[in-house]
Structure 1
Amino acid sequence: MLAAMSTADLRSSPEAPSASRERGDACPGTLRLHAADDGALARIRIPGGVLTVRQAVALAEAATRLGDGDLHLTSRGNVQVRGLGEGCGGELAALLDAAGLLPSPTHERVRNVVASPLSGCDGRGLLDARPWLSALDAALCASEEARALSGRFLFALDDGRGDVAGLDADVTLRATADGGAELALGSAGEALIVPAGEAARAASAAAETFLERMRAGGTNVWRVDELALGNDELLGAVERRLTAWGIGHERRARNTGRTQGPPPGVVGEALSAHVPLGRLSALQWRELTSVASGELRLTPWRGVVLPTPAITAARAAESLARLAAAGLVTDPDSPWLRIGACVGRPGCGKSRADVRADATETLDAAGPGGLPLYWSGCERRCGHPRGDRIDVVAAPEGGYRLSTAVAGQEPRTTSIDHPSQLAAGLAAITHEPHDDREQ
């Protein structure tokens, strides 16, 4: 039986409250593992999600030899290896270092960079963001100051199409039509325009300014929007640093992003596939690496883009068929594009339900249209997407609580006693027609 209920808005505000973090940042990395209920967890930063085939093979070897055999994609285009045994940290680090996935042991957790995954592949961007990516990663690893950044601090490099510009990054670079780069901080409404050739250096300067202002205020925060500092004051401090570094700049109103990932299928000179719930088996990973033409790009939407220059239509169709046969999503109308979930039980001790299993069993009820659904085992909603959605949160008393999270609207909520009631619950909060015979 469905029971309507009133609850607080479950959305994350883009303006996080200013507060000093009382504890240190415990975000896991390659060298700092996290103890989960299914074993230790390593989070490997993959700047821009870009992997060579050799690096992808090394990741698969790490998961198979040391972990649970699967690779878990995150909402930042990084990779998690779960189920790691006790005492295997050194072996994991050595394996990844040999593959070039650990260029700086002191900076490995701060290399959080997302980038437009189709950049240079479909002709839609204003420039190829890859030079920015390489330059920013090198600048971060070379900066002693950057070592102090939280493992949650995020950079976004947008080639002008607007796809990653709306991912709530702390420092965003976006190519402009006049050949420059827009540098934005957190959710600030104004940005600085800098020369495209200085974009990576300017982003590094912005991150160092954040750390400087944080220390000056005597606080310990992880994200730009947590600073007890007005946006204009922080932007002014960045301007002064840019001037000191000899980087020209001017203020402008900021562009907004649309946070939309590549559709599955053939996109320009690339193949795109979605990974259901972000979990890749060894078989699926092998298929991806065998189809890839030298490189894979993991997306913040838990997908994979395979650049395929000069591929024939017949070869593209054959490759997509292989990926689909392995269980990857290549159909742009698949309901999987609407569904996400945290790890849930048994991997997380805080989860109240096996949310991945429940999401899978109710896939048909969710359907391909409407708002995205994100299943969470508790109110933390780890890994939830940005933008409008429906939160499906396991309730303490059992069942799930459904709540709309739509910008500018009051949330609509309801409760369901069992996942099989999902279709009726969605109808109740979205005012869509529902036929009980479909249960």
Structure 2
Amino acid sequence: MLAAMPPHVPSPTPAPGAPRVRERGDACPGALRLHSADDGHLARLRLPAGRLTARQVEVLADAAEALGDGRISVTSRGNAELRGLADGCGAELAPLLAEAGLLPSPTHERVRNIVASPASGLDGLGAADVQLWARELDERLCAAPWAAGLSGRFLFVLDDGRGDVTGLGGDVTLVAVAPDAAHLHMGGRAVRVAAADAPRAALAAARAFLSAARAAGTGAWRVRELPEGHQADVRDVRKALAAEEVPEAVLPQGPPPAPGPLGPAALHVLAPLGRLTAGRLRALLPADEVRLTPWRGAVVAGTDPARLPALETHGLITRPDSPWAGVSACTGRPGCAKSLADVRADAVPGRPGLPVHYSGCERRCGHPHGDWVDVLAAPGGGYLVDGAPVPRTDLAPAVTTARTAPRTTR
């Protein structure tokens, strides 16, 4: 049975140096617990590693058309959102998702937050295929009753060594450092574990976080919210798995895969402003599987990269030199009551360069990680581009300058 969530009341901002106290559970929507928005209800489907089978692609597209507004939003964690859902859609949506394998555990569906290097195993890069780790971790997560106590914001990040997803702010981050070894990072510490133990180690780290959160009594949702003296300790994982602490471990940093071919039998495309119509989603087929990405696109595995020109005719972004590559936006008006503008209608790409994100309010929902151009709607119809006031009619040159100028000059 689907349920709409009550309006979210944010916790008070703590004083400098004081720990954040969460007085209620997180309000993140799920597939069963919906968020009420101005354009209807919203369902967020957790897709570990962004993975969809061909059958699930069809089901998701059908659900968007039959029950929602016909679009699928891709989130900054590679999950999928359906918007415009009616009040009475629960009797249809939940069984539809469950039958397609998109709802394997009703009790754990909001905590299945697993991001993994989307091109892993496809392009010959990386030290290990972390997509396999993601599947095992998801199975272990759903099988652990205690794991249902994790926040819907708690994030596992699995990087195959190329560094494309390490900057996404994971609470528990696994990095493949060799075909048979991984580093597990949490709370500023790291341990080395055998690759075969990596998913088990990630789950043990999450349990250590929950123990620390209970001891702190502050209701922390994320590892970084734990107060001083109550840090989750990866040394507990070391004891459980005979792991070795790595004092100087550094997270690798690398770029995301560019739109285009990924080896001989895969490709990567981006969704304009992070949204796929049902038709564009179906256009990705045939494929062995589709992996939604944190950069609001899709890696299509088991297909001919020669299909890229055809996918471009569907409106997908297929080339790294497209000015729309790296451009994203929040929902904006009319879907969000807090937004000051229809940011999707106002968005202009400028010239290719830094990622740019359009936000309708100061929450900046869905903004990228790392270095990005901040375009924020302002009262009166204008925008702030990296803090500088810009009339809506002058957005294009201002965004171009912000995306292409050296950051040290601004």
TM-score by length of 2: 0.90
Stretches of structure 1 lacking an aligned partner (at least 5 in a row): 1-14, 404-412, 433-439
Match of 2:174 in 1: 173
Deviation at 1:417, TM superposition (A): 2.3
Distance verdict in 2 for CA 1:23–1:396, change over 3 Å: farther
Deviation at 1:241, TM superposition (A): 4.6
**CA distance in 1 between partners of 2:104 and 2:215 (Å):** 31
- Indicate the SS of the match to 2:284: helix
Match of 2:98 in 1: 97
The one-letter code of the counterpart of 1:41 is L
**CA distance in 1 between partners of 2:281 and 2:99 (Å):** 20
Match of 2:352 in 1: 368
1:258 aligns with 2:253: yes
Deviation at 1:322, TM superposition (A): 1.5
Higher relative contact order (CA 8 A, sep 6+): 1
CA contact (8 A) 1:415 1:425 kept: no
Distance verdict in 2 for CA 1:430–1:117, change over 3 Å: closer
CA contact (8 A) 2:352 2:404 kept: no
Match of 1:30 in 2: 31
From 287, 298, 301, the equivalent of 1:307 is 301
Larger deviation, residues 414-423 vs 100-109: 414-423
- Indicate the SS of the match to 1:130: helix
CA contact (8 A) 1:205 1:242 kept: no
CA contact (8 A) 2:290 2:299 kept: yes
- 1:148-297 to 2 correspondences below 5 Å: 148-177=149-178, 179-186=180-187, 188=188, 190-229=189-228, 233-235=231-233, 238-243=234-239, 245-258=240-253, 260-268=255-263, 269-290=265-286, 292=287, 294-297=288-291
Deviation at 1:431, TM superposition (A): 5.8
- 1:370-409 to 2 correspondences below 5 Å: 371-403=354-386
CA contact (8 A) 2:116 2:158 kept: yes
**CA distance in 2 between partners of 1:316 and 1:272 (Å):** 9
**CA distance in 2 between partners of 1:63 and 1:428 (Å):** 35
Match of 2:338 in 1: 350
- Indicate the SS of the match to 2:63: helix
Match of 2:305 in 1: 316
The one-letter code of the counterpart of 1:375 is Y
**CA distance in 1 between partners of 2:252 and 2:365 (Å):** 22
- Indicate the SS of the match to 2:325: helix
CA contact (8 A) 1:416 1:425 kept: no
Distance verdict in 2 for CA 1:320–1:210, change over 3 Å: same
CA offsets, 1:343-377, max 9 Å, x none? 11111110000101111xx23xx1113x2211000
Distance verdict in 2 for CA 1:385–1:428, change over 3 Å: closer
- Indicate the SS of the match to 2:221: coil
The one-letter code of the counterpart of 2:308 is L
The one-letter code of the counterpart of 2:232 is L
- Indicate the SS of the match to 2:191: strand
Match of 2:10 in 1: none
Stretches of structure 2 lacking an aligned partner (at least 5 in a row): 1-15
CA contact (8 A) 1:48 1:133 kept: yes
- Indicate the SS of the match to 1:193: strand
Distance verdict in 2 for CA 1:16–1:167, change over 3 Å: farther
From 313, 316, 324, the equivalent of 1:325 is 313
Percent identity, aligned pairs only, is 54
Match of 2:13 in 1: none
**CA distance in 2 between partners of 1:299 and 1:140 (Å):** 21
The one-letter code of the counterpart of 2:352 is P
CA contact (8 A) 1:265 1:320 kept: yes
The one-letter code of the counterpart of 1:40 is H
CA contact (8 A) 1:71 1:279 kept: yes
Query: Which of structure 1's runs of 4+ aligned residues deviate more than 6 A?
Result: none
Match of 1:417 in 2: 391
**CA distance in 1 between partners of 2:107 and 2:116 (Å):** 23
CA contact (8 A) 2:72 2:82 kept: yes
**CA distance in 1 between partners of 2:217 and 2:398 (Å):** 50
Distance verdict in 2 for CA 1:424–1:200, change over 3 Å: closer
CA offsets, 1:225-268, max 9 Å, x none? 0110359x532xx323542x344332232322436321111121
**CA distance in 2 between partners of 1:118 and 1:158 (Å):** 10
Deviation at 1:425, TM superposition (A): 6.4
Distance verdict in 2 for CA 1:415–1:31, change over 3 Å: same
The one-letter code of the counterpart of 2:132 is P
Distance verdict in 2 for CA 1:55–1:431, change over 3 Å: closer
Larger deviation, residues 418-427 vs 348-357: 418-427
Match of 1:119 in 2: 120
1:147 aligns with 2:136: no
Distance verdict in 2 for CA 1:105–1:160, change over 3 Å: same
TM-score by length of 1: 0.85
Deviation at 1:222, TM superposition (A): 1.1
Distance verdict in 2 for CA 1:431–1:142, change over 3 Å: closer
Q: Give the paired residue count.
A: 390
The one-letter code of the counterpart of 1:271 is L
